[in-house]
Amino acid sequence: MQLRFPPMRSLVSALVAASMAVLAAGLFAGLLSAQDDSQPPSGWELSGDAARARPTYDKFCSTCHGAEGHGDGVMSKFLDPKPKDLTDTEYMDTRSDYQIYLAIKDGGAAVGLSDKMAPWKSLLADQEIRDLTLLVRKLGVGE
Protein backbone atom coordinates (compact mmCIF):
# COMPACT_ATOMS: atom_id res chain seq x y z
CA MET A 1 0.00 0.00 0.00
CA GLN A 2 1.36 3.38 -1.06
CA LEU A 3 0.96 6.53 0.99
CA ARG A 4 -2.09 7.61 -0.86
CA PHE A 5 -3.88 9.51 1.82
CA PRO A 6 -2.69 13.04 2.40
CA PRO A 7 -3.33 12.76 6.17
CA MET A 8 -1.07 9.72 6.30
CA ARG A 9 1.64 11.53 4.40
CA SER A 10 1.53 14.54 6.65
CA LEU A 11 1.62 12.27 9.68
CA VAL A 12 4.80 10.71 8.32
CA SER A 13 6.40 14.06 7.65
CA ALA A 14 5.36 15.30 11.08
CA LEU A 15 7.04 12.24 12.60
CA VAL A 16 10.17 12.82 10.53
CA ALA A 17 10.25 16.47 11.59
CA ALA A 18 9.72 15.54 15.22
CA SER A 19 12.51 13.01 15.26
CA MET A 20 14.85 15.46 13.57
CA ALA A 21 14.05 18.02 16.24
CA VAL A 22 14.85 15.46 18.93
CA LEU A 23 18.15 14.63 17.22
CA ALA A 24 19.06 18.29 16.88
CA ALA A 25 18.26 18.93 20.54
CA GLY A 26 20.41 15.96 21.57
CA LEU A 27 23.27 17.20 19.43
CA PHE A 28 22.96 20.68 20.90
CA ALA A 29 22.95 19.32 24.45
CA GLY A 30 26.00 17.23 23.58
CA LEU A 31 27.83 20.29 22.30
CA LEU A 32 26.93 22.24 25.39
CA SER A 33 28.17 19.54 27.74
CA ALA A 34 31.40 19.18 25.73
CA GLN A 35 32.14 22.81 26.45
CA ASP A 36 32.54 22.45 30.18
CA ASP A 37 33.96 19.12 31.24
CA SER A 38 34.28 20.16 34.90
CA GLN A 39 30.52 19.95 35.38
CA PRO A 40 29.02 16.48 35.66
CA PRO A 41 25.72 15.73 33.96
CA SER A 42 22.85 16.08 36.40
CA GLY A 43 22.43 13.04 38.57
CA TRP A 44 26.09 12.04 38.35
CA GLU A 45 27.47 11.15 41.73
CA LEU A 46 30.81 9.81 42.82
CA SER A 47 30.65 6.83 45.10
CA GLY A 48 32.88 3.84 45.55
CA ASP A 49 35.85 2.56 47.46
CA ALA A 50 39.34 4.01 47.02
CA ALA A 51 41.05 1.08 48.76
CA ARG A 52 39.46 -1.36 46.33
CA ALA A 53 41.17 0.50 43.46
CA ARG A 54 44.68 0.01 44.86
CA PRO A 55 45.53 -3.24 43.00
CA THR A 56 44.16 -1.75 39.77
CA TYR A 57 46.23 1.38 40.28
CA ASP A 58 49.38 -0.64 41.00
CA LYS A 59 48.82 -2.73 37.90
CA PHE A 60 47.81 -0.13 35.32
CA CYS A 61 48.64 3.36 36.54
CA SER A 62 51.79 3.22 38.63
CA THR A 63 54.05 2.54 35.62
CA CYS A 64 53.45 6.14 34.58
CA HIS A 65 52.11 7.99 37.62
CA GLY A 66 54.37 6.21 40.13
CA ALA A 67 53.51 4.00 43.10
CA GLU A 68 52.61 7.03 45.23
CA GLY A 69 51.25 9.13 42.37
CA HIS A 70 54.12 11.60 42.02
CA GLY A 71 54.21 11.21 38.24
CA ASP A 72 57.53 9.38 38.47
CA GLY A 73 56.70 5.85 37.28
CA VAL A 74 59.26 3.96 35.19
CA MET A 75 57.55 4.97 31.94
CA SER A 76 57.50 8.64 32.84
CA LYS A 77 60.96 9.35 31.46
CA PHE A 78 59.77 8.39 27.97
CA LEU A 79 56.75 10.62 28.08
CA ASP A 80 56.21 14.21 27.05
CA PRO A 81 54.22 15.71 28.64
CA LYS A 82 55.00 13.86 31.87
CA PRO A 83 52.21 11.98 33.61
CA LYS A 84 50.49 14.27 36.08
CA ASP A 85 51.74 14.39 39.64
CA LEU A 86 48.50 13.28 41.25
CA THR A 87 49.77 14.37 44.69
CA ASP A 88 50.18 18.01 43.65
CA THR A 89 47.26 19.24 45.72
CA GLU A 90 47.52 22.82 44.53
CA TYR A 91 46.99 21.70 40.94
CA MET A 92 44.62 18.81 41.69
CA ASP A 93 42.34 21.15 43.65
CA THR A 94 41.66 22.94 40.35
CA ARG A 95 40.29 19.69 38.90
CA SER A 96 36.78 18.49 39.63
CA ASP A 97 35.98 14.90 40.54
CA TYR A 98 34.20 14.62 37.23
CA GLN A 99 37.27 15.76 35.28
CA ILE A 100 39.38 13.14 37.00
CA TYR A 101 36.75 10.49 36.28
CA LEU A 102 36.53 11.58 32.63
CA ALA A 103 40.31 11.63 32.20
CA ILE A 104 40.47 8.02 33.35
CA LYS A 105 37.39 6.89 31.47
CA ASP A 106 37.77 8.73 28.14
CA GLY A 107 41.47 9.61 28.22
CA GLY A 108 43.44 12.83 28.63
CA ALA A 109 42.20 14.33 25.37
CA ALA A 110 38.63 14.30 26.71
CA VAL A 111 39.61 16.90 29.32
CA GLY A 112 42.09 18.92 27.27
CA LEU A 113 45.16 16.94 28.32
CA SER A 114 47.59 14.71 26.44
CA ASP A 115 46.22 11.67 24.61
CA LYS A 116 49.18 9.75 26.06
CA MET A 117 46.79 9.29 28.96
CA ALA A 118 44.71 6.56 27.34
CA PRO A 119 40.98 5.94 27.78
CA TRP A 120 40.42 3.02 30.16
CA LYS A 121 36.72 2.46 29.68
CA SER A 122 37.14 -0.60 27.48
CA LEU A 123 39.34 -2.30 30.07
CA LEU A 124 37.82 -1.14 33.35
CA ALA A 125 34.25 -1.20 34.58
CA ASP A 126 32.60 2.11 35.39
CA GLN A 127 32.71 1.30 39.12
CA GLU A 128 36.44 0.56 38.89
CA ILE A 129 36.93 3.98 37.28
CA ARG A 130 34.93 5.59 40.10
CA ASP A 131 37.02 3.76 42.70
CA LEU A 132 40.19 4.97 40.93
CA THR A 133 38.84 8.53 40.93
CA LEU A 134 38.45 8.33 44.72
CA LEU A 135 41.95 6.86 45.07
CA VAL A 136 43.43 9.67 42.95
CA ARG A 137 41.70 12.12 45.31
CA LYS A 138 43.33 10.41 48.30
CA LEU A 139 46.83 10.35 46.79
CA GLY A 140 46.87 14.11 47.10
CA VAL A 141 46.27 13.95 50.84
CA GLY A 142 49.04 11.45 51.39
CA GLU A 143 47.16 8.18 51.60
Task: Report d(CA 52, CA 93) in Å as an integer.
Answer: 23
Q: Which of residues 4-43 bind ligand HEC (CB under 6 A)?
A: none
From residue 42, alpha-carbon distances to 1, 33, 105 in Å are 46, 11, 18
Kindly state whether residue 113 participates in binding ligand HEC, applying the rule CB under 6 A.
yes
Kindly state whether residue 132 participates in binding ligand HEC, applying the rule CB under 6 A.
yes
Kindly state whether residue 108 participates in binding ligand HEC, applying the rule CB under 6 A.
yes
Q: Could you say which of 48, 52, 72, 79 contacts ligand HEC (CB under 6 A)?
A: 79
Residue 81: asked if its preceding bond is cis (omega within 30°), the reply is yes
For the bound state, the minimum distance from the C-beta of residue 41 to ligand HEC, rounded and expressed in Å, comes to 18
Kindly state whether residue 60 participates in binding ligand HEC, applying the rule CB under 6 A.
yes
Task: Report d(CA 87, CA 13) in Å as an integer.
Answer: 57
Kindly state whether residue 46 participates in binding ligand HEC, applying the rule CB under 6 A.
no
Distance of CA 20 to the CA centre of its chain: 28
For the bound state, the minimum distance from the C-beta of residue 42 to ligand HEC, rounded and expressed in Å, comes to 22
